[in-house]
Amino acid sequence: MLIKLLSDSDKLHLVELAKLLALADKPLLWDGKTSDEFTSDTDLSALSIQESEHERELIAELEQSSGVRKTFGGISIASSNEVELRLIEVLKNFPVSKAEKPETRVLAATTVLKELLKGKKFELPSTPKVILFELLLVALRDGHISSIEWALLKEFQLHHQLEDFIFDDLLERAETLNQEVSKTISIILE
């Protein structure tokens, strides 16, 4: 929505952060199976994150509106894929029995977030606010913010030293916008 206010490098940063936020609380799969479906033949090193079509569309839409897709040899590759691979690598450091626990997911996602935020400073004081607002909209895409998403949003707030009242105001605006969009879609589809 406000992505047009960002520079190209800040748009790329937003897409990476949005991808992390979208994947942070999604189910884990080992060799394409959930932990309940393990067998002795399951390859536990083949870890992946079960991303829904809705998340893929959301990130693709962000990438398209930001114009940040990279191409190598004519093949389009999003930097957000790098974020997914990094999150998977961090999750592989945890025992399988703990990898799905929310506290482990927060720890892994926060590790990747800190890598993305390391040394990141913005020219304009409005930039982290725009990014936070967009991230709040991403987190609210399913109607609520999970505890894992909340931890990442608060970590972003702390890193950029945004006041609590700014966070709360942006959250309120994002919730209101999300509700209005949902109502509008309901009216249209009636």
Reported confidence tier of residue 140, pLDDT bands at 50, 70, 90: very high
pLDDT, the chain, mean: 87
Q: 59 Cβ partners below 8 Å, 6+ apart? A: 15, 18, 19, 22, 78, 80
Reported confidence tier of residue 40, pLDDT bands at 50, 70, 90: confident
Determine the pLDDT at residue 121: 84
pLDDT tens sequence across 147-180: 999 999 999 999 999 999 999 999 999 999 999 9
Determine the pLDDT at residue 73: 44
Q: Which residue is it, tokens 């608060």?
A: 154
Determine the pLDDT at residue 129: 96
Reported confidence tier of residue 74, pLDDT bands at 50, 70, 90: very low
Q: Where are the domains of the chain?
A: 3-189
Determine the pLDDT at residue 10: 92
pLDDT tens sequence across 50-60: 888 888 888 88
Torsion of the alpha carbons at 165, 169, 172 and 176, rounded to the nearest 10: 170
118-156 burial: b if 16+ Cβ within 10 Å, else e:
eeeebeeeebbbbbbbbbbbbbbbeeebbebbebbbebb
pLDDT tens sequence across 95-130: 888 989 999 999 999 999 999 999 888 888 899 999
Q: Where are the alpha helices (DSSP H) in the chain?
A: 8-23, 53-66, 80-91, 96-99, 102-117, 127-139, 147-159, 164-189
- Burial classification of residue 184, based on how many CB atoms lie within 10 Å of its CB (0-12 exposed, 13-18 middle, 19 or more buried): exposed
